[in-house]
Structure 1
Amino acid sequence: MCGVFVSPLSGDDSSPGTKDAPVKTLQHAIGLAAHGRGDGEKRTGRVFACGGLLEEEITLPSGVDLWGGRRCDDGDWSYQGSFGGPDHPTIIAPPGGIPLRVLGAEGTALAGDNATSVIAGVQIVAANASTPDDKSSIAMILSAGARAIVSDSKIIAGDGKDGEPGGDAFSVRAMAGVVGINGANACTADATVGALPVVTVCGDGIESTGGYGGDGGLDVGGDGAPGQPALGGNSERDGHAGLGADRTRCEDGGDGADGADGGRADGAFGPGFLSEDGWIGVRGEDGKKGGVGQGGGGGGGSKSRGPMFACPTSGLQSGAAGGSGGSGGCGGKGGRGGGYGGASIGIVALEGTDLTVTDTDVFTGKGGQGGVGGTGQPGGAGHHGAPGGITLVDGMWDACKGGDGGNGGRGGDAGGGLGGASVGIAYVVPNFAIRPGTTIVPGDAGAGGPAGNAGPEDEVGKGKTGPQAALYAFPAASEPIH
């Protein structure tokens, strides 16, 4: 009834777990201690482990104690000082995963005053980037509601992994515009209709439309239509409509404005947050899509009758019609934000946990560097406007051409990811006690990743360095990141 005994060298999991017949693995021993050995035996709630290496991921119900560092060579399972002496640590060091997880009381059959676990005389070592997401290194997690006392132990986290680069958008240009349609020639119809508009339909449903050409007339030519969408802000390239001929010749349609570039997105910021899976950082902001280029304005239509010229009286009478403007190119897609670097955390204490640490050393490694942001896609080329119709009659004016469509804006470069945290004890709500004899030594936090297309000294769009401290409060996974 004293407890369940574990020897990684001489134990056998088919044994009952007594001093004389120990089991081999900690997790099997924990199950026997939590539920009893069968045949009506009450649970002992205690596990005693010899010094030695146990390459296991351990899940410990609250209320089950784990006492390591036992001297087992002479069979008396004695305990002398921290780790049973410097040559007898019980080392829990799996090649991957989180070495020790303590469950909350609600996740076990245990409750009340006996639901606190004592963890003493162990060395808990997390491998580099060994959490389930293959990014962080976390030695110990207290699930929500867990209660634990960690004493005479060492908690060691490895290094976090660098964040993955954000995906680059396509290197080829976005969809180009469509060339305008030629206007009809003079004297080919009694009502010469201006060239029809052309449209570019981009992948997100946004359209760029070249303005239709002005109609040909007898005494007055029709005006063209402006290019769409109206972007404004550039008087020289505004896709304005060409005016039809009256007392003077017609006017060409205006060239469309280029779409706005997506610019550079913000780098990741904030501390990240804690969850049952460990630490989750923040990706860099994705690059914004470039703006669509404006379509060129339609060219003005011409007329057929003047003081000294006209279509032959025996034929069709309308003047030449204007050409339509070319449509603009689509905006490029933005790059994807850089991934966050992995964290290095000794102990994670979630909501409602109660943690006491005494005579224990906590060491963390380096947080991973944030990933670089992805680069944006070049915008599509705007296309040419088409010429207006012509005339073969001396002195009669040709119709006017449509304006060229504007180029699509370049997709934005994405921001860099958050650097990985390096924190001794990471917690959500401060409900813990650090007793004398405890040393917490955090490593270096990871630097934030650079933005896409950023130079070595360019801070714009760079992610922030991750948190670094002996103790650090994080928001829970349910809380928004600010």
Structure 2
Amino acid sequence: MKTLQHAAGLAAQVRDNGQAPTRRVYACGGVFEEAISLPQGVDLWGGRLCAGGDWSYGGPLDGQHALTVIAPPVGIPVRVLGGDDAVLAGEDATSVIVGVRAVAADASASDGKSSIAMVLSHGARAIVRASEIYAGDGKDGEPGEDAPSFRANAGVVGNNGADACTADVALGALPVVTVCGDGIESRGGYGGDGGLETGGDGASGLPEPVGNPDERGLGGFGASSMACKEGQKGADGAPAERAAGALADGLLGVDGWAGVRGEDGKKGGVGQGGGGGGGGKGRDDFMNACPTGRPQGGAAGGSGGSGGCGGEGGKGGDYGGASIAIVALYGSDLTVVDSKVLGAKGGDGGVGGTGQWGGAGYGGGNGGRGLVTDKSVGCRGGFGGRGGRGGDAGGGLGGHSLGIGSVGASVTLLPDATVLPGQAGTGGLGGNATPEALSGTGNDGTALFWYRFDEQDPEAPR
């Protein structure tokens, strides 16, 4: 046969004369740049010395190419099928793999990051004997995407109040609104009405602040025995904290291993709108502020400026690729005899993305101008609060380095088996974090000769 895969397929089929499948593939020593899927119950006997046509087995000590080397440029070199795929070869059959060197290229799994040399599918049974199973290096995780470098949307300047002597009751300035991307609004408070005997109070800005900050965007008092008061500055939006780094172990599946990204940063809080300024009054101690024949009301207060939007959060850092020589899935049975099973370098987790600065709050509108008395003047609206900075994201999980990774599988290692990990990848830093800062850092990968992942639903999608 020209390819190992074609030979494996024929070995699993009933022959033309009705005889049972041969269930065995003999392969010459040398390099095969292909990934193969071995039906359960089909043996692969590599390392044949084919010169002279004797097809004898020389063993791994007969030279560099004595073993059958399966080394595709991409993909997982060897799969042993099980479950529904095992029907061709008999459900209870065990595949024996002898005289094979499976070599995974760096970052060659389907995620483009991990390197896996062999996978035993659900229910597969395999004995690896006198062989070498080598994973390549995992790829470092990509850094998380930074939020925009420019500030989030800023607030709007409040409206000015009407002047005194323009109406007996001058309506307070209308509010201004900033609509942020998540639908939350920052609204400056209404300005207080200008009246005859008293001025109206300004309204507080929105949204209401969390907690009890010093500046709460309260509306200013209207003029009575004293002149009006300006609206208070709105509370700044709360900055989001750095998100958590990746903590879980990731999942094993038919494509090898899927890691965990760092958490995305959360959005910063919206700045509160400033309070509306208090309104003035037209009469003070029997003195009219307005000339006879004109409306007698005092000036209206300016509305508060709206606050800035909260900044967007950064995106979590990606996970580093794993380096796992053999993955054994649910219900599979693996035995390793007189063989080398080696992991290599796991990829480092990616750093988390940085958050965006919140938008600036803007000033309130001016109160209306007055005549004759100080109490006829309308007061200014308060500044809107700044939007909170978006959160920096967490770092990605470092890639594992394992000789064998299993979940719900039976694994037997005989004393003459050499199963070793390489170096695990380090977890990615959180966005804007220093190496000394632990906040937001993803977990390092695990380096073990054999690691059993937590049991999960075998029917769940991978």
Q: Given the superposition, is the C-alpha separation of residues 287 and 459 from structure 1 closer, same or farther in structure 2, using an over 3 Å criterion?
A: same
CA distance in 1, matches of 2:355, 2:456: 31
Write the deviation string for residues 23-47 of structure 1: whole angstroms up to 9, x where unpaired.
1210111111111453545320100
Counterpart in the other structure of 2:278: 300
Q: Distance in 1 between matches of 2:92 and 2:351?
A: 49
Which residue does the alignment assign to 2:358? 379
Relative to structure 1, is the Cα distance of residues 476 and 98 closer, same or farther in structure 2, using a 3 angstrom cutoff? farther
Aligned with residue 281 of structure 1, among 243, 256, 259: 259
Residue number in structure 2 paired with 1:360 = 339
Match of 2:397 in 1: 418
Given that residues 268 and 282 in structure 1 are in contact (C-alpha distance below 8 angstroms), is that contact kept between their aligned partners in structure 2?
yes
Give the counterpart letter for 2:386 in structure 1: N
2:178 match: secondary structure: strand
- With over 3 angstroms needed to count, the CA separation of the structure-2 counterparts of 1:186 and 1:102, relative to structure 1, is same
Tell me, in whole angstroms, the C-alpha distance in 2 between the residues paired with 1:478 and 1:309: 82
How far is the alpha carbon of 1:105 from its aligned partner?
Answer: 3.9
1:31 and 2:9 correspond: yes
Whole-angstrom distance in 2 between the partners of 1:158 and 1:391: 81
Query: Which position in structure 2 is the counterpart of 1:251?
Result: 229
Cα offset, 1:387, TM superposition = 1.1
Among 121, 124, 142, which residue is 1:146 paired with? 124
Contact 1:84-1:121 within 8 A present in 2 as well: no
Worse overlay, 376-385 or 85-94? 85-94
Q: Which amino acid aligns with 2:257?
A: W
Q: 1:227 maps to what in 2?
A: 205
Report the RMSD for the aligned CA atoms in angstroms.
Answer: 1.7
Distance 2:373 2:191 in 1: 23
Structure 1 alignment gaps of length 5 or more? 1-22
For residue 205 of structure 1, what is the aligned residue in structure 2? 183
Question: For the residues of structure 2 that align with 1:225 and 1:395, how far apart are their CA atoms?
Answer: 22
Q: For 1:39 and 1:264, locate their aligned partners in 2 and report how far apart those are by CA, in whole Å.
A: 69
Unaligned runs of 5+ in 2: none
How far residue 310 of structure 1 moved from its aligned partner, in angstroms, is: 2.8
The alignment partner of 2:283 has SS state of coil
Cα drift, residue 395 of structure 1? 5.1
Matched, 1:56 2:34: yes
Corresponding position of 2:20: 42
Post-superposition Cα deviations, 1:318-343, rounded to whole Å, max 9, x if no partner, equal: 11010000010000000000000000
Q: 1:433 to 1:232 in 2, by over 3 A?
A: closer
Instruction: State how 1:450-469 maps to structure 2 within 5 Å.
Output: 450-469=429-448
1:214, 1:221 within 8 Å by CA — same for their partners in 2?
yes
CA distance in 1, matches of 2:226, 2:374: 13
Q: What CA distance in whole angstroms lies between the structure 2 residues aligned with 1:351 and 1:90?
A: 28
1:82–1:152 Cα contact (<8 Å) kept: yes
- Following TM superposition, by how much is the alpha carbon of 1:71 offset from its aligned partner in structure 2, in angstroms? 1.1
CA distance in 1, matches of 2:177, 2:270: 12
Alpha-carbon distance in structure 2 between the residues aligned to 1:292 and 1:210: 13
1:428 equivalenced with 2:407 (yes/no): yes
- Is the 2:312–2:390 Cα contact (8 Å) retained in structure 1? yes
SS of alignment partner, residue 449 of structure 2: strand
Cα contact 2:127–2:334 (8 A) shared by 1: yes
Q: Give the deviation of 1:477 after TM superposition.
A: 6.4
TM-score, normalization by structure 2: 0.96
Secondary structure of the 1:68 match is strand
Q: Counterpart of 1:109 in 2: which secondary structure?
A: helix
CA contact (8 A) 1:272 1:475 kept: no
Does structure 2 retain, via aligned residues, the 8 Å contact 1:103–1:146?
yes
The sequence identity of aligned pairs, in percent, is 63
Matched, 1:405 2:384: yes
Residue in 1 that maps onto 2:423? 444
Decide whether aligned partners of structure 1 residues 361 and 221 sit closer, same or farther in structure 2, where only a CA change above 3 A counts.
same
1:20 matched residue in structure 2: none
- Decide which of 142, 155, 159 is 1:181's aligned counterpart: 159
- 1:342 partner amino acid: G
State the Cα deviation string for residues 79-101 of structure 1 (Å, max 9, x = none).
Answer: 24447676511100111110001
One-letter amino acid matched to 2:331: G
| Greater mean alpha carbon deviation, residues 389-398 or residues 350-359 | 389-398
Aligned residues: 458
Deviation of residue 304 (structure 1)?
0.1
Q: CA offset at residue 283 of structure 1?
A: 0.4
| 8 Å CA contact 1:309, 1:396 repeated in 2 | no
Alignment of 1:471-482 (within 5 A): 471-475=450-454, 478=457
* Residue 350 (str. 1) matches residue 329 (str. 2): yes
Cα deviation for residue 156 of structure 1 reads: 0.4
| CA deviation vs aligned residue, 1:382-431 (integer Å, no higher than 9, x gap) | 11011111123355531111100000000000010000000001000241
Q: Distance in 2 between matches of 1:430 and 1:40?
A: 35
Superposition map of 1:118-133 within 5 A = 118-133=96-111
CA distance in 2, matches of 1:175, 1:128: 44
More deviation, 332-341/184-193? 184-193
Q: Note if contact 1:68-1:83 (Cα within 8 Å) is conserved in structure 2.
A: no
Mapped contact 2:58–2:66 kept (Cα < 8 A): no
Shifted more, 104-113 versus 408-417: the winner is 104-113
More moved, 266-275 vs 36-45: 36-45
Q: Which residue of 2 aligns with 1:169?
A: 147
**Secondary structure in 2 matching 1:174:** coil
